Structure 1
Amino acid sequence: MYYRWLDRWDERRTRRSDDVKKVTDLVLAPEFAFPETEVVTEIGAFCETAERAASASDAFFSPPSALPDVIWDRGFLRFPSDILTETTENNLVHAQLTRSKRRDHALLVFHHWNASSRNAQLSRFFSRHGISVFEMALPYHLERSRPGSTYADHMLSPNLGRTIQSFRQAVVDGRQLIRIVQRAGYEKVSVLGVSLGSWVAGLVAAHEPAVKKASLLLTAGDLAEMVWTGGATRHIRASLEGRIELSDLQRAWAPLNLENHATKLARPDLDVQIVLAKRDRVVLPALSERLVRRLEGADSMPDVKRLNCGHYSLTLPPYIIFTGMRVSRFLNR
């Protein structure tokens, strides 16, 4: 009885923004994803270019050597993004800081898709446990939202090139933020990502040697298959189906697939935690388990917690309490 109610509650939450999510057209837009390459006009060439970027991901997700100018202002820090887009608001990175009494451990938090606010309760929880929290706005979210948009459609969409650009921008911004917090005196750096933010956190952890712990909540590896099968991205599948096969979408988004970076996530000095929901209909549990197996196959031993709830009901007691305590122990041990 309880789990039937829980499943219905999750399904209502999943469909809550369906009325504003639009079915559009497949767009390659390689100039967003691969501005340095020659003109790409068909899907096969796009996929080949994406696979080359995935195989050279250290360069693809590398920030420039120079640190940006940073403004610290009343609990926020702001700096210009190194990847420029046509949306002016999106080109300035905003991160909110919740300080701990200790100043040695910084946690970068990457929120979920279409977040309308930061999680003050989460930040206070970790700050009480000795960790300063930096909540960075993902591209096209919060202060970086595109004027007139009703949701963050430029972050994840049937526009293949812009989606890659948005994730690349998020990873480069995150790596710059890590350099900034290190310069501010934080010696230990961890990352935490929720749902779509877990892909960003995973990509940052895989490519940034300064990260020593990565907590990935409601995550999986294959972004393309998550979009194809997930309840919150039905409109994107409807936009793509009949125009591109899932196998080609997986190739096109190869740089964003955490399974392709499993070896980097399995490096000896990085601890990885995965929290998955066994009743999840947004990020299917089978996809999460596949990432776990890929990490284990790369000689990693991730800390895995499986909760009997759905994607959104993870935020309800007792699941959110279990999660908070598990993550806190993982980050502090």
Structure 2
Amino acid sequence: MYHKWLDRWDERRARRGEEGKHPTAFALDAELAFPGADKVRSIEEFCLLAEEAQADQSFFERPDGGDQGFQRQDEWLKFPSDITTDVEENNTVWAKIAESGSLDHALVVFHHWNARARNNQLARFLSRRGITVVEIAMPYHFERSRPGSTHADYMLSASLGRTIQSIRQAVLDGRKLIRWLKSEGYKQISVLGMSLGSWVAGLIAAHDSTVSKASLFLTAGSLADMVWTGRATRTIQGCLAPRIELTDLRRAWCHVNMENYGHRLARSGLNLQVVLGKRDKAVKPEVSENFMQKLSGAGARPRILDLNCGHYSLAMPPYSLMAGLSLDRFLHARNQPNPQLGLRAL
């Protein structure tokens, strides 16, 4: 009975999240994803460029340029993004810092799609537990929002190229912030990603050996499958479906598919935690399970907490408490290879 009520609550929350979302036209926009690719006219050409990008180890490396321009004032940090977009506000990265008073450990947090506020409660809790928490604004969110927009439609949309550009920008922004934290003297760096933010956190962990721990909440490997099947992205799927098949969308977004970097996520020195919702309609359990199998096949052994809640009800007690305490234990555990641990909530 309780879980039926929980499912209805999640559905009401999903409907509220649809307010302000409008269909956007399907577009390749290859020049946004792949500089110099303005002559791409077909999905096949786009997919070939994406597959080349996946094989290119420098795709998620910073462009030429330094790490200058950081400005710190009290709890706020801002710095220029290494990718320049046509939205001026989006070209400056903002982050909020909750100091712990120690340089032992810093956690960079990547929020969910269309987040309206940073997670101050989590930041306060962990900072009191000795971990400095840095909550970064992903592209087109918070201080970086596009003027006049009601949601972050440039971060994730039916524009194949703009979506890739936004995720790449988020990864490069996060890696730039991590370099700054290291220069400030932090000994250990961890990342936490929630929903869409988990793709960013996971890609950073896969490409940046500085990261020793990565916690991925409500995650999966294939961004294409998440968008195609998820409750929160059905407006985007409705724009994509008439123009592209799922098989081609997987190819077009292959280089932002964490499944394709399983061997990197299985690297020595990286500890993984995954928190999933068995009743999740936004990131379907079968899509997440496929990712877990791919990780296992690559040799990764994440700690898995599988809760009997939905995508949005993870924020409700008791699930929020269970997830928070699990995260706290994971972050404070000694760095060592973790056996796969499946926890099934009642």
Q: What's the TM-score, normalizing by structure 2?
A: 0.94
Counterparts of 1:89 and 1:242, CA distance in 2: 33
Deviation, 1:156, is 0.1
Deviation, 1:24, is 2.4
Counterparts of 1:157 and 1:254, CA distance in 2: 16
Partner of 1:123: 123
Partner of 2:58: 59
Instruction: Say if 2:81 and 2:173, in contact at 8 Å, map to a contact too.
Output: yes
Counterparts of 1:90 and 1:228, CA distance in 2: 26
1:231 counterpart SS class: coil
Partner of 1:289: 289
Partner of 1:99: 99
Deviation, 1:122, is 0.8
- The 5 A counterparts of 1:155-170 are 155-170=155-170
2:275 counterpart SS class: strand
Instruction: Say if 2:227 and 2:234, in contact at 8 Å, map to a contact too.
Output: yes
Please give the per-residue CA displacement for 1:230-289, whole angstroms capped at 9, x wherever unaligned: 000110011111211001111111111000111111101101110000000000011111
Partner of 1:311: 311
Instruction: Give the letter aligned to residue 25 of structure 1.
Output: A
Instruction: Give the letter aligned to residue 62 of structure 1.
Output: E
Which sits farther off after the overlay, 87-96 or 60-69?
60-69
Please give the per-residue CA displacement for 1:2-54, whole angstroms capped at 9, x wherever unaligned: 00000000011111132311122210000100014462111100001001101
- The 5 A counterparts of 1:222-233 are 222-233=222-233
Please give the per-residue CA displacement for 1:177-232, whole angstroms capped at 9, x wherever unaligned: 00000001101000000000000000010001100000000000000010000000
Partner of 2:188: 188
Counterparts of 1:273 and 1:17, CA distance in 2: 27
Instruction: Give the letter aligned to residue 18 of structure 1.
Output: E
Q: What's the TM-score, normalizing by structure 1?
A: 0.98
Structure 2 residue ranges without an equivalent (≥5): 334-346
2:211 is aligned with 1:208: no
Instruction: Say if 2:30 and 2:38, in contact at 8 Å, map to a contact too.
Output: no
Counterparts of 2:11 and 2:42, CA distance in 1: 37
Please give the per-residue CA displacement for 1:128-155, whole angstroms capped at 9, x wherever unaligned: 1110000000000000000000000000
Counterparts of 1:55 and 1:125, CA distance in 2: 40
Number of aligned residue pairs:
332
Partner of 2:332: 332
1:232 counterpart SS class: coil
Partner of 2:20: 20
Identity among equivalent pairs (%): 55
2:232 counterpart SS class: helix
Partner of 1:77: 77
Instruction: Give the letter aligned to residue 236 of structure 1.
Output: I
Counterparts of 2:169 and 2:288, CA distance in 1: 24
Counterparts of 1:202 and 1:165, CA distance in 2: 16
Counterparts of 1:5 and 1:313, CA distance in 2: 11
Please give the per-residue CA displacement for 1:60-109, whole angstroms capped at 9, x wherever unaligned: 00014621220001111110001000000000000100001222201000
Counterparts of 1:221 and 1:270, CA distance in 2: 17
2:167 counterpart SS class: helix
2:47 counterpart SS class: helix
2:58 counterpart SS class: helix
Partner of 2:240: 240
Which sits farther off after the overlay, 30-39 or 119-128?
30-39
Instruction: Say if 2:107 and 2:131, in contact at 8 Å, map to a contact too.
Output: yes
Counterparts of 2:90 and 2:51, CA distance in 1: 27
Instruction: Give the letter aligned to residue 66 of structure 2.
Output: A
Partner of 1:322: 322
Instruction: Give the letter aligned to residue 149 of structure 1.
Output: S
